[in-house]
Structure 1
Amino acid sequence: MSNISSPNSVDITPTPKILRTLGDIPFEIWQCFAELIDNSLDAFADAERRGIQIPTPTIHVYWSRESTPSQDREIVINDNALGMDLASLENAAKAGYSANDPISHLGLFGMGFNIATARLGGETDFVSSQKGDTKYTGIKINFEQLIKKRTFIAPVINEEKEDSNDSGTRITIRNLKDGIYGQLQKKLTQIRRQLETIYSPILTRNKVRIVLQGKQLSPRLHCVWSDSRYVIRKGEKVFARKEIDCDLGETRFDTQKNRYLSDDEIAEYEIHETPFPDHIVIRSRRLKGWIGIQRFSDTTQFGLDFIRNGRKILVNDKSLFEFENPDTGTKSIEYPIELGSTTGGRIVGELTVDYLLPTYQKNAFDTSGRAWRLTAEAIRGAGPILPKSRKAVGADGENDSPLGKLINAYRRPDAGTRTLALPNPVARDFYKRFISNDQEYLSDEKWFKAAQEADRDRGEGNQRLTPVNVGETPSDDVDSYLANVTSGDTSSAPPVQTASSRVVPPVVNSTRASLLPLSEKIESASGLYTYKSQIVGMTVTVRCMKNGHNIRHQDEKVPCVLFLDGQEVDFFYDPQHSVLSEYPISPKQLLLHGLAEKFAFRDTNAGVSFSTALWGLIDNHLDEERINHQSLQERAGSIISNIKERLPELLGHRFEAVKTTIQEAPREEEDFARRLLEEAPNLLELYQNCGNGAEQTLGYVCESIIKRLVSKFPEEFFDSKLFNLPYTTLKIGDPATRERLRKIPIDRVLSYITDIASLLQGSHSQNKHELLRYANTMSLMEGLVQ
């Protein structure tokens, strides 16, 4: 260590304790591995830039078996890149030193190696070898010895090398810190999942293998709808996947300080006509990638992934789903709004932002600079995204940004093709098959079929109409429907059938083979069923009988039949049978009952009863029929929000008459005004003066005002303008008859809105029967609203 060298200067070189202190920086184990993996990836990238091909580039990360004595356990990270000489290795081990170009490399600050190794253990062997070398050469870093000797000088070590043609770098960490080995064993799956997530872009290219504890990492792909799927919003197709390629311009970047120059700093050079030094370069800022719609909703597993040089820095980031008011600094969540706490969101994406500057932990970006602001605006546009929020702050027009279009078109998760969504329990089941690499569920064909089935279940697409059974040979000739009619003397008596000649028809039982062509598979209900997760289940194919065809057993029509072949089950049901059409029983309930019998018989030696199997099946597979007060309230709020959002376009051309209707109930108008004052004060004057844009205030009315507006202006709501019920198209009878008929759809909708308002204002103490009523109301209303 140096001493004071002169009266005017002091040596402030830190002691070697600082190296061990780096181990106190809060890095998770997977982050430590990632720092060391980054160095290997940079080495492979350098070889590729130099045009040198490495056969099967591979990075191995592994640690000792549990049978190894604790004092001998070690962690090893090695690669087969080009390797380094001793001088390069010496620099790589120096804290704060980085020879990397910060633009194209993953490693940036020269601290990753030191933090990662110090976090994991007390001693590190860092060796490397180049092609042609006869041994591995490197250094041993032992913190206790360095501190004891008060020196930063580490001894050089050599290790044997089997093949002189091999090359690469190996890091061996020993004297593992307390708790590290236990976490490795306990969190192996979590560590693997995290590394597969952040390196998915690199793993997808299949250029580098990363092997963790003997098992190769695989990319964790997003489960999204294909780019050919779309929904319609305001007459425009909004596709489920949007490609982004946006040039955000060029600016000056300091490669030594790893930062962008400010406009003032650039101007200083230009004003004085001073040439920029070599380390200040022109750097382009290009945003590339995609955003799209996930095939399932989740309360946490959604958001945008931001990628820098192949590694994901931000995963499932939701910051761009918020709008920050520049005047007040307050933030408001714009997505997900409807069913956000129970169902969640489904917008995801992968965006390459090589130009953004990550923090030293590589789990965030510097969001204070202009580069981030330009990125955010390119993705989500300026101002709020939701139409109602834009009007509240005085923003003009729609937010046509990539994210804005997706949020406005896909924010409602109602099951069906109109929103490109599945019932969430079905979607979660399909996703399990997707991540298990079930080929039938990788594409979105079966998913879309399940969305179509949801349309049918809600009575959309004319599915409620039963087609006429025209028989096998349709004809207008009545005689063709009469048996054994022959031409000739019509007065002759028909032959008398004797008892001996009478034929007893055989008993008819439907078979699997006979039912298959008369039915269609229900993707959303088919799958693996079990009453307990660790018990071997049965793979069930559910099939619905086509209209006009039924199931027979002992010559009687039956609602369903179940065929078992080993662990494979075919379940057929007839939706027209009275048990299903006239009673509150679903096909899945009948299926679970049948499966419970089969499981109880199969597992009787294990003491499994019918009731035990049935309870388990209900708990595992009937989630969509579970009554949950919170989710019902969120569904109710979603319906009301949708109606409010549509009011300006429906009633804007009659605003003065609408305002008069609102004023007929002074207390309701007062509450309406209070809401405007709190949420959109700039709209209050428009309402008072009936100014241009005053119709936007209708997005803030209460449920009671909605009811009065529907009752007062039904012609603006029905006939598929908002509700899929006829009104002006009802032209039967005299005026009095038409008036009575037209009152029926109005009363129906008003009763639904009354139930919804009651649910939104009610408490959690409502009983099961009340919640069942509300659930039915939600389903009926969701089927009516366009």
Structure 2
Amino acid sequence: MTIGQYDEEPGGEARISELDLTPSPRLLEVLGDIPYQPWQCLAELVDNSFDEFQSDPDRDATEPPTIHITLPKATSGSEDAQVCVADNGRGMSESTLENALRAGFSGNSRYGSLGLFGMGFNIATARLGNKTTVRTTRAGDEFWLAVEIDLRSLQHRESFHVPLHREAKDDPGLHGTKITVSELKSNMFEALKRPKTVTTVHQQLGRVYSYLLRNRSPVPELPDDGTLAGLGISLYINTKRVRPHIPSVWSASRSVKRHGTDVNAVREIDRKLTDAYACMDCGYWHHHFDVAKCVECGSERLELRQRKMHGWLGVQRYLDESDYGIDFLRHGRKILSGDKSLFTWIDLDSGETLTEYPIEIPNNQGRLVGEIHIDHVPVNYQKTDFDRSSRDWHETVRYLRGDGPMRPKKAKERGFQENESPLAILFKAFQENDPGIRCLIPGNGTSATHKLAHDWGNQFHRGLPEYQSDDKWYQAVLAHEEAKNRETTGGEHTPPRPGDDDLSGRTGLDPLPPAEPPTSGEEIQPPVPSEPEPPTETEDQRYARYRQHGRRLHDLDGEITALGMGKRSVTVYETTVSVTDATGDPMPAVARVTAGVDLEVYVYGDHEIFREFGRDPRDYAIMEIAQVLRALARNTDTKFTVIAADVTRQFPDQRTTSSALRDRAESCLRRIRDLTGPVIATAAAEMWARLSNESKLQAESEAARVDPRLDWLAATQDGRFASYLSYEAIASLVRNVPTVFMDNKVFTAAWASWTADEARDRQVGHVARLLETIGGFVSDPSYKNRRELAMTRLAIDTLDDIIVRTGE
């Protein structure tokens, strides 16, 4: 690199001299100190292969695009250890190879590419080792082109000039490129030998290149219109195929109803943006049409290109603390994976931040996901983030999540219209985690089975066929509704069997012909039928009958182990017909071991021990499991109760702890406050006046904790104070002004339709006592015994049933 400069010659004449600013080859070695993880180094190298495949639309379909990564084995020595990345792309000519490597030194990367041997190539190879060889050939060429970049040699010679070799090849039809890094750095060599590192590389590359690796059919459950299909490129590490990480989302055909409108669990994004000029050398986008040169690199190679934002937003089938959020991609590679920044609203004027999701219980776990392609948004040189200060990024965020808060109440408080952005619509429909069809959350009839749904998600990612569709999750949603309805109606209605209305249906006899009228004085003798032998029911038929008349308790599905035995898959059914053992004696629960090591348990839900003594069928199912495991292990030393306790601990969704109940109580209170706000706002001054001084002080204290910048005086006048009322305060308002809260305004309990004061008082008292019971539990941090927790759980269950469901 040179720069012109004027020098003064003696006598006043000027001459031009040159300064040699070619960087020292030491620069490449210094690049190796940039903290790239092993998977990032490999990603920089395979980026070039993906670029090649994406730029070849006419590729022969009989030769699928493939990339092979070879890493050192655990038994490899440091002297001969290598890292290789090879593809079967078109290969490069001499001039293309020279320009590619020169582009690497200058840091340029052309429009529409992931890598093209840009700066990342040099960082990655310098990070891995001291010597890099690039070999490439095209179909029809008689030789391979080979270039060796030896960092130590370049530094010693203080020159960037490297020799180009031509190596003969046996098959002229061969084509592709191979990058080999040798003389590995000691720390990188030791890391790549470890199985844990190789596993991490598999997982990270499977996530980053999910779109490029998955086949040409869309992600399971997404709309099958071709726009969301993958590219079907194959990537192998040491001959083992890298599996793309595919999101486990609800089917696009599933929906929930909000405000009378069906909101589908998957929303497609396809937004065409204004065309712009893109620099073909550095990739910079120009939003003005009167440009002659690239403002970034000075190139005149500008072309008018289409800009678009496409992809999808959806709902995952399970909750997770970290595995949720939106993936943002550039040219098929994920730059951001599981990004959660769009779930926080930022006021650009005041700097106020408002975390909007997730806050429902469990408030540290989410399920909103997505995959958004934004090829036009610039990224940093490490490809770990987009330029969030760029106009293009702000345009993306504004469209996806809108300008104001996604929560209608928060938007209104801050002067925004209701947010109708794609993410806000999905958020408002699926922000809550209540079990059942309303939120698409699996449950057991009482509570959500988040742990079970998550376990099924793990099976999905392992590739087990029965977990690929969302049927298992959806059946658990329906099972929750069925169980909940049974509890509400006091039992399940058994439809009449054929023939119940006649003798033949009850006895198995053929129908009798109509009797002829008797003659005078004739004594009627009823026929005496012979009783046929009842058919013998096989064991398989008996259990099939139990299943036919049963419902699956999904929260007791799973794999369990005890007494040192291997894992056994357990399935539990609650039946509406009595169950018996092999001798025909009636039992509350029976079990059998199926083919392999699986275990099936059947519990008769209407047994007197459950109907009259209030025992939970799940407890007897667990006892039956423990009994069978003890028998299989032939262990008479371990106490039965110890085994049952061990089995119980393996079903965490069954827990009833103080912290879990507090979480549920907070969720209910938040829903009540959201419903209370609008009805209180119509008579805010009156409602505020009806509160006790203690309730007012508690509400003010809560407001100061949550939103210290709130104008509290104004909040007491316009009704916003409702967002900070305690259970006890709401209970007192229900007792004083029931007409504001009852009859499907906040609570579904009827009030106005009753004319007797006693009936009205009973309805009001029922709601208020539930609120006071739960409020007392929340405000009292002292230890609660088992009975107190059980009573609180029942109160929360009952209150949850009578809170109005929004949007329905």
- Note whether the superposition's TM-score is higher than 0.5: yes
Q: Secondary structure at the match of 1:64?
A: coil
* Structure 2 portions without partners, runs of 5+: 8-16, 215-229, 443-448
Q: Which residue of the other structure, out of 150, 163, 171, is the alignment partner of 1:163?
A: 171
The 1-side partners of 2:702 and 2:600 are apart by 56
1:637 matched to 2:659? The reply is no
Give how far 1:298 is off: 0.7
**Could you tell me whether the CA contact under 8 Å between 2:452 and 2:558 is conserved in 1?**
no
Q: Does 1:236 align with 2:261?
A: yes
The 1:761/1:520 distance shift into structure 2, 3 A limit, reads: same
Q: How does 1:176-215 map to 2 (within 5 A)?
A: 176-184=184-192, 185-204=195-214, 205-215=230-240
Secondary structure of 2:186's counterpart equals coil
Letter in 2 for 1:432: N
Structure 1 residue 709: Cα displacement: 2.1
Q: Which residue of 2 aligns with 1:412?
A: 432
Give the secondary-structure state (helix, strand or coil) at the position aligned to 2:32.
helix
Supply the distance in 2 between the matched residues of 1:167 and 1:202 (Cα, whole angstroms): 21
1:280-299 counterparts in 2 under 5 A? 280-299=302-321
Contact 2:731 2:769 in 1 (8 A): no
> How far did 1:767 drift?
4.7
Describe the superposition over 1:426-477 as per-residue Cα deviations: whole angstroms up to 9, x where unpaired: 2012212322333332222221110111223334796644436756534499
149-158 or 301-310: which moved more? 149-158
Write the deviation string for residues 686-731 of structure 1: whole angstroms up to 9, x where unpaired: 556x6xxx345533433332112222233343344433433334x4
2:567 — aligned with what?
537
> Which 5+ residue runs of structure 1 have no aligned equivalent?
271-275, 498-502
2:461 counterpart (435, 438, 443): 435
CA 1:471–1:383 in structure 2 vs 1: closer, same or farther (change >3 Å)?
closer
Deviation at 1:761, TM superposition (A): 3.2
Partner of 2:544: 516
Query: Could you tell me which residue of structure 1 aligns to residue 396 of structure 2?
Result: 375
Relative distance call for 1:560 and 1:426 in structure 2 (3 A) is same
Aligned positions of 1:224-373 closer than 5 A: 224-261=249-286, 278-342=300-364, 344-373=365-394
Shift of 1:394: 2.1
TM-score by length of 1: 0.86
Match of 1:39 in 2: 48
Determine if contact 2:750/2:763 at 8 Å carries over to the other structure.
yes
Q: Is the 8 A contact 1:60 1:212 kept in 2?
A: yes
The answer (yes or no) to whether the contact 1:507–1:555 under 8 Å persists in 2 is no
Deviations 1:393-432 (A, max 9, x none): 1223x21111111222211111111111122022012212
Does the CA-based 8 Å contact 2:257-2:438 persist in structure 1?
yes
Match of 1:551 in 2: 579
The amino acid across from 2:404 in the alignment is: G
Residues of 2 paired with 1:684 and 1:596: CA distance? 58
Please give the secondary structure, in 1, of the residue aligned with 2:56: helix
Equivalence for 2:737: 713
Q: Is the 8 A contact 2:87 2:178 kept in 1?
A: yes
In 2, the alpha carbon distance for the partners of 1:133 and 1:300 equals 50
Question: What is the one-letter code of the residue matched to 1:753?
Answer: L
2:475 is paired with a residue whose SS is helix
Shift of 1:93: 2.9
Alpha carbons 1:529, 1:617 under 8 Å: kept: no
Matched, 1:222 2:247: yes
Q: CA deviation at 1:378?
A: 0.7
**Taking structure 1 as reference, are residues 164 and 476 closer, same or farther at Cα in structure 2, changes over 3 Å only?**
closer
C-alpha distance in 1 between matches for 2:730 and 2:336 = 43
TM, length-normalised to structure 2: 0.84
Partner of 1:569: 599
Equivalent positions of 1:606-617 (< 5 A) are 613-617=643-647
Q: Deviation digits for residues 726-769 of structure 1, max 9, x if unmatched? A: 3334x4xxx5xx33233333333223322333344343754554
| 1:698 aligned residue (708, 718, 722) | 722
50-59 or 591-600, larger mean C-alpha shift: 50-59
SS at match of 2:653: helix
Please give the alpha-carbon distance, in whole angstroms, between the structure 2 residues aligned to 1:363 and 1:574.
56
Query: Conserved in 1, the CA contact under 8 Å of 2:326 and 2:371?
Result: yes
Query: 2: distance between equivalents of 1:763 and 1:507?
Result: 61
Q: Map 1:616-635; keep pairs closer than 5 Å.
A: 616-620=646-650, 622-635=651-664
- Which residue of 93, 102, 125 maps to 2:133? 125
Q: Deviations over 1:604-641 (max 9, x none)?
A: 48998756654442222x20122344433222221111
Equivalent residues in 2 for 1:635-784 (5 A)? 635-655=664-684, 657-662=686-691, 665-672=692-699, 679=707, 694-729=718-753, 731=754, 738-763=756-781, 765-784=783-802
| Cα distance, 1:165 vs structure 2 | 1.1
2:695 is matched by which residue type in structure 1? E
**2:135 counterpart SS class:** strand
**Structure 2: distance between partners of 1:366 and 1:534:** 54
What secondary structure is seen at the aligned counterpart in 2 of 1:187?
A: helix
Could you say if the C-alpha distance between residues 3 and 106 of structure 1 is closer, same or farther in structure 2, counting changes exceeding 3 Å? closer
8 Å CA contact 1:244, 1:290 repeated in 2: yes
Q: Residues 35 and 113 of structure 1 are in contact (CA less than 8 Å); yes or no, is this contact kept in structure 2?
A: yes
Note closer, same or farther for the CA distance 1:708–1:143 as it changes in structure 2 (3 Å cut): same
Distance 1:493 1:353, change over 3 A: same
Amino acid aligned to 1:129: T
Q: Which residue of the other structure, out of 438, 453, 474, is the alignment partner of 1:448?
A: 474
1:86–1:138 CA contact under 8 A, matched in 2: no
Deviates more, 1:149-158 or 1:759-768: 759-768
Bigger shift: 294-303 or 199-208?
199-208
Q: Structure 1 pair 80/764, CA: closer, same or farther in 2 (3 Å)?
A: farther
Q: What displacement does 1:583 show?
A: 4.8
Q: CA deviation at 1:329?
A: 0.9
> Structure 1 residues 589 and 169, CA, compared in 2 at 3 Å: closer, same or farther?
same
Tell me, in whole angstroms, the C-alpha distance in 2 between the residues paired with 1:624 and 1:136.
61
The superposition leaves residues 40-94 of structure 1 with CA deviations (integer Å, 9 ceiling, x where unpaired) of 111122332x667671211000123222222211111001111113333233334
Aligned residues: CA RMSD = 4.0
Q: Secondary structure at the match of 1:385?
A: coil
SS at match of 1:347: strand
Shift of 1:18: 1.0
Alignment check: 8 A CA contact 1:24 1:119 kept: yes
Range 144-153 or range 285-294, more displaced: 144-153
Paired residue secondary structure (1:332): strand
Shift of residue 589 of structure 1? Answer: 3.0
Residues in 1 aligned to 2:544 and 2:367: alpha-carbon distance in whole angstroms: 36
* Structure 1 match to 2:63: 55
Change (3 A) 1:363 1:464: farther
Contact 1:306 1:315 in 2 (8 A): yes
3-state DSSP class of the match of 1:725?
coil
SS in structure 1 of the partner of residue 405 of structure 2: coil
- Write the letter of the residue equivalent to 1:379: L
